[in-house]
Chains A and B, each alone.
Chain A
Amino acid sequence: MSFPKPPVGMLPNERIAYSPIPQRKPLRLPKGARMVVWTITNVEEWDPTQTMPRTVITPPAGGAPMPDIPNWCWHEYGNRVGFWRLLDVYDKFKIPGVMNINATAALAFPELVKACVERNWEFVGHGYTQRNMQKVENERDDIRKSAEVLEKTTGKRPTGWLGPGLTETWETPDVLSEAGYRYVADWVIDDQPVWLKTRHKPILNIPYTQECNDVAMMLIQHHKASEFYDRAMDQFEQIYKDSSKDAARVMAISVHPYIMGAPHRVKYFRKIFEKIRKKPGVLFWTGEQICDWFMKAGPKAPE
């Protein structure tokens, strides 16, 4: 079936052709490994003068009063306290860190950025502010400014991009490619990296996750804290089974300091790594490492 073309950019199926995963050419990781796990920590700055992106408590009798101090504080706790608990887990299990960070957050929380720079984390462009890309006034400016601020604050221009809330316009991949980003993670479409065509050079998409994600599990679906561990393990075991030395797979885990960094939740995050860190054939990489590997080991970018 053909769908009406958007005024700018491309339809999803113009960027990527359908491809069933069992029918692809072998895809091999170094040293006979079978899968890669990448763990992404999302750091945001919430504008106290806007409606909060998420809430834990609603005002008496409902509504959305402004300012929303309790929910602003709930999020701010993540950056003051919660993040440092997650950092302990990453340090303890030697997990290479990946941070999706709004440019304004990189400016607002220099101590947090510094701790990650010291550990050689990868910083991923994540919008200038935490705003839907469709509501950003000038997408091109936002994407370019995000890279510039991250380069200034972290010392390195970001390679990857994840839209705030994974939002895209019809032309986001084009704009990202033109701005020099090498990969994007908005398209949760496959268990292997895939190429997306753009009007510029093709851009790689790396498997991210909406389901192994604390926003979805804890805030939207209201599961108990232990579900984070249970689901991550179920996901891991199945992807491990699906993968082989000739069929590499990628699994993502995505967390937010204000959610999994709460005292009553962090142990369920930690338990995941206690369990999977020593599994043979599993690599713990950053997005950039996945990108570098796939560009050599995977199929060539489409013309």
Chain B
Amino acid sequence: MSNPMKPGERCDFSAIVDRPPLKLPGNARIVFWTIVNYEVWDIGKPMARQLLPAPTGVPLLPDVVHWGWHEYGMRVGCWRFFELYEKLGIKPTLSANARICEDYPRVAEQAKKAGWEFMGHAYEQGPIHKEENQPAMIKRSMDVIEKFTGKRPVGWLGPGLTQTLETPEYLAEAGVKYIGDWAYDDEPTVIRTQKGPLVTLPYTVELNDIPMMIIQHHESDYLLKRMIDQFDRLYAESEKRAKFCALAIHPYISGQPHRIKYLEQIYDYVNKHEGVLHWNGEQIYDWYKGVAADKLKAAT
């Protein structure tokens, strides 16, 4: 693609205070959006995240330690998530590497059975910049999930939220309607692509166990503390305008025995409040495309 658009060219700058407030149905004031990430870490490649520094500082392949760390999430950690969301009656968004349908059918089947929303999240874990054929990888990911669940995903999140400048066009072309890669606002927005508009949903890099636990090295209970602070503020603001509060988790991190209770306590806290909707990305998108029909049309 020659001369792809820069982010600022896809949307105009907009200060939140200058926009008319969004209004949720009924008496709802805030949407709590849970995103669970299930991935495939190919043992033939460098592992996506590391916990232990490599001995003598030289990363070597295969990296069995971190393969095992992640694999624990798929063997054990994710079942703590399934149990929690079944108990709560929440159907989260599953940010799914398509390859989980092939490598972990037991896990993918469980998510399908539980009615979780499958959101495209590349074929396997690795920065999108290194894909040789990005449009083909995106299409393949969407096709594999569609074949497995019987439904083409509506949403997409790049691995580690990565995009190149051309990615939005490729995604729109593959049938994606919303993306989580642009965590730049508290509200959904519409962005332009040469293949039609995309909606951005307010995903989160701060209320996310990778930055909090693995990059910033906070203690386990900080997941709960930061979430309460985040929710309190957004809830207060939701008196005047609809707010969206996202939480992104990974089974090899928040599914650990020493962390899971803080995740569970988040929902205890949030559910004490009136007017909270637990919607997944597709539900947010379905509602938003109705209220933002004119914006979507203008960007077409």
B-binding residues in A (CB < 8 A): 48-49, 56-63, 65-67, 69-70, 72-74, 76-77, 79-81, 83-85, 108-109, 111-112, 222, 224-225, 262-267
Contact = CB atoms under 8 A, between A and B. Distances in A.
A234 to B, nearest CB: 20
A124 B215 CA distance: 33
A57 B211 contact: yes
B204 to A, nearest CB: 10
Contacts of A265: 229
A61 B18 CA distance: 39
Given A70-B183, A262-B206, 16 more contacts: A56-B215, A57-B215, A58-B160, A59-B129, A60-B49, A61-B46, A61-B48, A61-B126, A66-B129, A69-B158, A70-B205, A74-B183, A76-B184, A224-B226, A262-B230, A264-B230
A222 B7 contact: no
B13 A59 contact: no
B137 interface: no
B182 interface: yes
A74 to B, nearest CB: 6
Contacts of B120: none
B51 interface: no
Contacts of A77: 183-185
B267 interface: no
Interface residues of B, number: 55
A11 B229 CA distance: 46
Contacts of A67: 6-7, 163-165
B234 A263 contact: yes
Contacts of A222: 215-218
Contacts, number: 136
B182 to A, nearest CB: 5
Contact of A80 (B16, B125, B229): B16
B222 interface: yes
B162 interface: yes
A77 to B, nearest CB: 5
25 contacts: A57-B205, A60-B49, A60-B125, A60-B127, A61-B47, A62-B46, A67-B163, A69-B7, A69-B162, A69-B181, A73-B181, A73-B182, A74-B184, A77-B185, A80-B13, A80-B184, A108-B8, A109-B13, A222-B215, A222-B216, A222-B217, A224-B222, A263-B237, A265-B229, A267-B233
Given A67-B164, A265-B229, A72 B18 contact: no
